[in-house]
Amino acid sequence: MNIILLGPPGAGKGTQARILIEERGMVQLSTGDMLRAAQASGSELGRKVKDIMARGDLVTDEIVIGLIAEQLESGAAEKGVIFDGFPRTLPQADALGELLDAKGLKLDRVIEMRVDDDELIARVTGRFTCGACGEVYHDVTKRPKVEGVCDKCGAKDSFVRRADDNEESMRKRLFNYYRDTSPLIGYYYAKGLLRTVNGLGAIEEVAAEIRKALDE
Ligand code: AP5
């Protein structure tokens, strides 16, 4: 299956993608993760997008479409892909359709995750991740079992916080979501691919709703 997790920043896309990877062996293609990896590597692309991302603005369609095309070219779609944070604009959605067509692949479901804005801000401002394995945590709702140690990989004192996880950037990211990304809800509804889940429940409750939407 090839699916999109569609939702505002902090909706839980990354958290649910990690559950789907474990349960179904799918591959996650997160343009946000790819762009952060480019920054960490000190590449020209990373330098180019650093300030744009920290402000909460979108990088150009050309850049992210290129990143996804590269991944699909290298065979990432063989096991079924979770597109996380891509597409985010109508031109990106059109480009994804064309890239999949060219490979004889199709999109099976688009899962829209709905969460209200106050909760999104609380989630994002409390988020931290393991710098070693990427496991996602939260100051209040998901703390590691042993302070300072990642539950998943055991790395010590390797937690990191994102430069754009502050209230000012988050408000910008939400604005961009409603302006540029939310039209994709109607776009995929019209194609018969959209399923909407309530992203406000506990992580496992949301996972159960997504399982149902994928298996129906
Ligand atoms: P990206 O990395 O894609 O960030 P985002 O869309 O803003 O989404 P997040 O990663 O913030 O949230 P999430 O939904 O994955 O939530 P998570 O599971 O972590 O993009 C970053 C930037 O890159 C963009 O602003 C842009 O500049 C650029 N970019 C990327 N892709 C682009 C594109 N296609 N086009 C142009 N620019 C692009 O959960 C959040 C927190 O909530 C965690 O702490 C988690 O533990 C907690 N949580 C999760 N689920 C629950 C739950 N059910 N209950 C309680 N807490 C929960």
- For the residues 197-201, what does the mean pLDDT come to? 96
Indicate if ligand 1 lies below 6 Å from the C-beta of 113: no
Beta bridge partners of 160: 129
Cβ neighbors of 191 (< 8 A, separation 6 or more) are: none
pLDDT of residue 50: 96
- pLDDT tier at 216, thresholds 50, 70, 90: confident
pTM to 2 decimal places: 0.95
Q: For the sheet with 3-6, list strands across it.
A: 27-30, 81-84, 3-6, 109-114, 194-198
Helix, strand or coil for residue 19? helix
Pocket test for ligand 1, best of 4, 5, 15, 152 (most atoms within 8 A of CB): 15
Looking at residue 61, its amino acid is D
> pLDDT tens digits for 136-195?
999 999 999 999 999 999 999 999 999 999 999 999 999 999 999 999 999 999 999 999
Burial 105-128 (b: 16+ CB within 10 A, else e): eebebbbbbebeeeebbebbebbb
18 given a catalytic annotation: no
**pLDDT above 90 for 76:** no
Write the DSSP assignment of 158-208 as a string of letters. Answer: -EE--TT-SHHHHHHHHHHIIIIITHHHHHHHHTT-EEEEETTS-HHHHHH
Residue 5 — very low, low, confident or very high, per pLDDT cuts 50/70/90?
A: very high
User: In this structure, which amino acid lies at residue 86?
Assistant: F
Instruction: Please list, in sequence order, all residues whose beta carbon lies within 8 angstroms of the beta carbon of residue 156, skipping any fewer than 6 positions away.
Output: 148, 149, 150
Q: What is the DSSP letter of 151?
A: T
Determine the distance separating the centroid of ligand 1 and the alpha carbon of 165, expressed in angstroms: 9
Mean pLDDT score, 99-104: 94
State the average pLDDT for the chain. 96
Q: In ligand 1, which atom is closest to the CA atom of 32?
A: 2
123 catalytic residue (yes or no)? no
- Identify any residues that bridge with 142 across adjacent strands, giving them in sequence order: 138
